A and B are shown apart, each in its own frame.
Chain A
């Protein structure tokens, strides 16, 4: 082990952190802080294991730390640095303890699954209505009458009645909504409404009506057709 065996691991750890925090998100979704912490901790553990493989390397790794903490023969900057560490460490532990015991001021976290699995009878149904311009037009007419107050004339979820609802009405022009779903899924959601959702979908918060009470199945299938056409999206298929 050459000199600098303490600096190299430190640089490695900082490098890993910077990579996970700033470089990786350029290619994929940002990692949660807890995962970054886990990776950095793993790196540090690896470094300690590597450094303690032999007596000599152990001394090279821990020697400086031991000498720094015991404070022997220190003067000037080093003395001050040691004092600082000795004061800061207990304070940090105290601060951590305080923040983990202090009562929470934040409302309970809500982990809503936006597209929970539909009940079996709604899986794989195909639209029985022929996709003709007349049917698409009819679907758009029904959409304008029944859906657009919340989901919007532009299919963007920003209808005049939308703003008080939480979660907000779905934005069909967003590629992560109906473009990711099959027509049978939309059929379920329209027919059974918010109250038809499973518990992970938080059915008690959704304002989506149970349209089976007011619309025939045929009308719902036409609405689905009009919705995809109007939002310039295609339903997801198995191919």
Chain B
């Protein structure tokens, strides 16, 4: 028994370490690479139609690689935009998404689009084209073109079905500076038309994809990239950050109290047992 007494702190330390390690272990190791755009909640006004506003400097940027659209004819095998940098901000009512890409020249046919799934149905990133074994949904596309100086709110479900909505909800603006396009898209987080518009609920991850067209004229006087000939990404994630939630601290405090109480009762019982 003497030996036991000498070894106690050791053993209990090891057992304690195990309890801690065991409780920790199942939650470790799930970190993913950066695959999403996080639109932070701002107090005050959004830079809704100002791609160069200072407010954007505080928003974290995500960058996504782009590929030439090779999925469906007419294909293109080389595109100007190699990647797109994306930032987001929201004020609880409206959301603004700023995209930036390098383009050596400003052309009237330069264009960009954001694409979203609508509701819970998974949609293919190429215009929500039909899939063999999954009943896919439509996509909501926000399309900006330099010469139109406006943003079109559109839908598609398969190739050749792209259509502008009657109810236009998206506004924004593009600015070309020093070889870089910056375009901001702004819309209400939620709209009345859940059938055609993506709904953005703070805290939820939704899917987003990007497309960029370099409208520079080729030798025949046609835009180099047009229609299905564009730079694209597949789906990534977008989230409007929820307001800070402190309930975790409350539950933690409650748990500490309960554990301490449990401990107190157990030790009192042990002491009583020892003294009888």
- State the A residues within 8 Å of B (CB): 3-7, 10-11, 13-14, 17, 33-34, 36-37, 40-41, 44, 60, 63-72, 77-78, 81, 85-86, 88-103, 106-109, 149-150, 160-166, 192, 194-199, 202-209, 213-214
Number of A-B residue pairs with CB-CB distance less than 8 Å in the complex they form:
217
Known: A37-B25, A77-B9, A149-B77. A107 touches B231 (CB 8 A): no
Among the stretches B49-57, B68-76, B105-113, B142-150, the one at the interface with A is B68-76
Pairs A-B, 3 closest by C-beta atoms: A164-B67, A97-B255, A94-B256
Query: By DSSP majority rule, is chain A's interface helix, strand, loop, or mixed?
Result: helix
B18 touching A6, Cβ below 8 Å = no
Categorize the interface residue count of chain B.
35 or more
* A3-B8 Cα distance, complex, nearest whole Å: 11
Chain B residues whose C-beta falls within 8 Å of the C-beta of A161 in the assembled complex: 67-68, 70, 77
B136 CB within 8 Å of chain A: yes
* A87-B263 Cα distance, complex, nearest whole Å: 10
Known: A106-B31, A209-B72. A67 touches B274 (CB 8 A): yes
* A2-B23 Cα distance, complex, nearest whole Å: 31
B238 to chain A, nearest CB (A): 10
Chain A residues whose C-beta falls within 8 Å of the C-beta of B77 in the assembled complex: 149, 160-161
B233 touching A164, Cβ below 8 Å = yes
A10 to chain B, nearest CB (A): 4
A90 touching B263, Cβ below 8 Å = yes
* A88-B30 Cα distance, complex, nearest whole Å: 26
| Beta-carbon nearest neighbor of A88 in chain B | B16
B10 touching A7, Cβ below 8 Å = yes
A10 touching B274, Cβ below 8 Å = no
* A198-B5 Cα distance, complex, nearest whole Å: 62
B185 to chain A, nearest CB (A): 20
Chain B residues whose C-beta falls within 8 Å of the C-beta of A165 in the assembled complex: 67, 234
A40 touching B4, Cβ below 8 Å = no
B4 touching A207, Cβ below 8 Å = no
B4 touching A93, Cβ below 8 Å = no
* A34-B266 Cα distance, complex, nearest whole Å: 30
